[in-house]
Amino acid sequence: MQRKIFVTYTILIFLGIILTGLLTLKFVRTSYVENIENKLITNANLISKFIEKEIEEDPSSPIDFHKYAHEYAAEIDTRVTFINKDGMVIGDSEIAQDDLSKIENHLYRPEVQKALEGEIGKSERKSATVDIDYIYITVPIMNNDKIYGVTRLAFPLTEIKKLNYNLLQNALIAAFCGLLVTTILGYRFTNSVTKPVKEITRTAQKIANGNFNDKVYIKSHDEIGILANTFNIMAEKLNDTISEIRDKNTKLHSTLGSMKEALFAIDKEYKIILINPVAMSLFNIADENVYGKHVLEVIRNNKLHDVLEDILNNKHIGEREIIIDYPETKILKIYTNFIRLDMDPNRIIGVMAVMQDVTEMRKLENMRSEFVANVSHELKTPLTSISGFIETLKNGAMDNEKVRDRFLDIIDIETERLTRLIDDILTLSAIENDKNTIKREEIRINEMINEVNMMAEALAKGKQITYITELEADLPFIYGNRDWFKQMLLNLIENAIKYTPENGQIKVLIYKRYEHVFAVVKDTGIGIPKEDISRLFERFYRVDKARSRKVGGTGLGLAIVKHIVLSFGGEIKVNSKLGKGSEFIVRIPILGRGKLG
């Protein structure tokens, strides 16, 4: 009888281990695949949202999908593909850009069809392009409630096959070990009732050390068996609860880490309960262990604390702007809301704050306002003069030939001034708008200097100024917009001529150093005060406004020069001393055709 019980017990335990291993194998694989699919869906949605935002911000600017495919693939370690609504692949992290046109149309792929219907597409199959088994996840890219294209993420099934093999191997090892252990336990079961208690104690210790997958294998219907079953159920529920908590924490950290805005939350005691990496970077927080600390201890900013205090004390939520001075001066737009308990929505437990850095936005708004005001002023002055002289002529001055001719000459001068101003504004606008699509053409510097000299020498001769050019032999080609380069040299030379008195000297030097071409324009003019040099390239900024208008300046010449230099990827410096002259130094990198575009 004892032998029969022992054999029966051993067989049952063996079958239980095998079935448990197989079920565990299936469960783990299913969970692994579902986890991959959820991760792919989350990442695909984030990528699609980013692309949608890019389209909304600048619909006219083409998006480099191929570049984004490689960038996101590197970030999430997943193959990324962008497909337009016609099924054409417009970006793929596994395919070279030149080979995209060779890829067959993806319009009738099942996952692509689902995405084009506005749903999330899923599919498992071998890729015809790279000959690898993948899990495919697709989500639509929307633009104005219409499907613009499809974001597709793919994860290789080779990892799952490796997992299956490892799990099967571990299951067989576990089955063998379990059989050995349970055989010994079964043999002694009839002689000892303390063995199950020892087994429960051993498993409890493993669970206490974090091994929640371990179980107690006891086949009994007495109190010991009930205790063992209850213990196993408790361990499973504990394991499920902890896994769920870890999964939620992983998703929360992933979401917070992918946000572009700074975010933090405090409780009613002003202690940090949540903060994302962007907020830590914004406030220069090095210590990651900030949870539970007072907000002033972590974010040393009284203005922000006053905002939070006003929200908690006076219930004033919404949006507002503050200026912070540390670690650097920034303008922040803060969106706040209360944190409420799910079970008791009327109970407020803290405040959530989302912060957006609007420093550059405000600077641009101020620059735009200043530009409009300056343009209005610059246009109004000659228009007022023209209008006044015309009114005078209409009121009788036309009959006086001498007065009439003088007034008409002034009107002609002011009209030319308006024309120059408008031309400079249009030139500056064209350079700013086209700097990302600049023409790349071969520029022969020697030929360009000869063209510039024909105009510059005539201007210099009119003021009896000595004009000298020194060019280094064998100057290399540079690549860029030829007309802009010519405009840059003319503006610098004409500027030097305007502010150099008669019998002065202007020297133009062109030479190569390392991988750069230097263009230097030196004059013996009136010079520039040191305090004005930093603002010299601002639109409409004039060191001496009366003198600038007298010599015909619009206030935009040097601003145009700066933007042209930037379009070539170069730099410009100014050295000047009052009464001794100025020196403008332009440094432009030498780029081959292959490095452009």
25 has a pLDDT exceeding 50:
yes
Low-confidence winner among 236-240, 311-315, 365-369, 512-516 (lowest mean pLDDT): 365-369
At 491 the pLDDT is 85
At 585 the pLDDT is 94
At 150 the pLDDT is 92
Q: What angle do CA 560, 457, 471 make, to 5 degrees?
A: 75
Q: Is the dihedral of CA 234, 240, 246, 248 positive or negative?
A: negative
pLDDT tens digits, 73-128: 888 888 899 999 888 988 888 888 888 888 888 888 888 898 888 899 988 887 77
pLDDT tens digits, 432-469: 666 555 667 888 888 888 888 888 888 888 889 999 99
DSSP, res 481: -
Low-confidence winner among 108-112, 318-322, 323-327, 472-476 (lowest mean pLDDT): 323-327
Q: What angle do CA 490, 496, 497 make, to 5 degrees?
A: 90
**Half-sphere exposure of residue 201: CA atoms within 13 angstroms, side-chain side:** 5
What are the Cα distances from residue 483, in Å, to 200, 224, 350, 452, 594?
A: 86, 93, 61, 11, 21
H/E stretch holding 571 reads: strand 571-577
DSSP, res 440: -
At 593 the pLDDT is 43
> Is the model more confident about 382 or about 103?
103
352 has a pLDDT exceeding 70:
yes
The mean pLDDT value for 149-165 works out to: 81
519 has a pLDDT exceeding 90:
yes
Do residues 526 and 579 make contact, with C-beta atoms less than 8 angstroms apart? yes
Backbone φ and ψ for 480, nearest 5 degrees, come out as 165, -160
At 546 the pLDDT is 45
Token pair belonging to 234: 């408790």
At 283 the pLDDT is 79
Residue 163 CA to its chain's centroid (Å):
35
1 has a pLDDT exceeding 50:
no
Token pair belonging to 325: 């001075």
Q: How far is the C-alpha of 85 from the C-alpha of 92, rounded, in Å? A: 15
Low-confidence winner among 45-59, 172-186, 231-245, 309-323 (lowest mean pLDDT): 172-186
**Half-sphere exposure of residue 494: CA atoms within 13 angstroms, side-chain side:** 18
**Type of residue at 192:** S
Q: How far is the C-alpha of 280 from the C-alpha of 54, rounded, in Å? A: 26
The mean pLDDT value for 556-585 works out to: 87
224 has a pLDDT exceeding 60:
yes
What the chain holds in terms of domains, given with CATH numbers, is 25-157 (3.30.450.20), 161-253 (no CATH), 260-357 (3.30.450.20), 372-433 (1.10.287.130), 436-595 (3.30.565.10)
At 421 the pLDDT is 65
Instruction: Read off the pLDDT band of 518 (50, 70, 90).
Output: very high
Number of H helices, E strands in the chain: 16, 17
22 has a pLDDT exceeding 60:
yes
What are the Cα distances from residue 164, in Å, to 77, 155, 158?
A: 21, 16, 10
Q: How far is the C-alpha of 89 from the C-alpha of 152, rounded, in Å? A: 10
At 517 the pLDDT is 92
Token pair belonging to 72: 């996101």
219 has a pLDDT exceeding 80:
no
Low-confidence winner among 73-82, 214-223, 500-509 (lowest mean pLDDT): 214-223
What whole-number percentage of the chain has pLDDT above 90? 9
Do residues 83 and 106 make contact, with C-beta atoms less than 8 angstroms apart? yes
Instruction: Give the bridge partners for 513, in sequence order.
Output: 516
Radius of gyration of the CA atoms of the chain, in A = 38
Q: Residue 190: helix, strand or coil by DSSP?
A: coil
Q: Is the peptide bond before 327 cis (omega within 30 degrees of 0)?
A: yes
At 417 the pLDDT is 64
Low-confidence winner among 131-140, 368-377, 536-545 (lowest mean pLDDT): 368-377
> Is the model more confident about 312 or about 519?
519
**Half-sphere exposure of residue 198: CA atoms within 13 angstroms, side-chain side:** 7
Q: Residue 260: helix, strand or coil by DSSP?
A: coil
The mean pLDDT value for 479-484 works out to: 84
Instruction: Read off the pLDDT band of 547 (50, 70, 90).
Output: very low
Largest CA distance in the chain: 142
Task: Give the number of residues written for the chain.
Answer: 597
**Type of residue at 111:** E
Instruction: Read off the pLDDT band of 594 (50, 70, 90).
Output: very low
Q: How far is the C-alpha of 102 from the C-alpha of 129, rounded, in Å? A: 10
pLDDT tens digits, 280-292: 887 778 777 888 8
> Is the model more confident about 517 or about 124?
517
Do residues 137 and 44 make contact, with C-beta atoms less than 8 angstroms apart? yes
**Half-sphere exposure of residue 24: CA atoms within 13 angstroms, side-chain side:** 18
What whole-number percentage of the chain has pLDDT above 70? 82
Instruction: Read off the pLDDT band of 6 (50, 70, 90).
Output: low
- In 3-state terms the chain splits into helix, strand, coil percentages (rounded to 5) of 55, 20, 25
344 has a pLDDT exceeding 80:
no
Residues in contact with 204: Cβ distance below 8 Å, sequence separation at least 6, in sequence order: 231
The mean pLDDT value for 37-63 works out to: 85
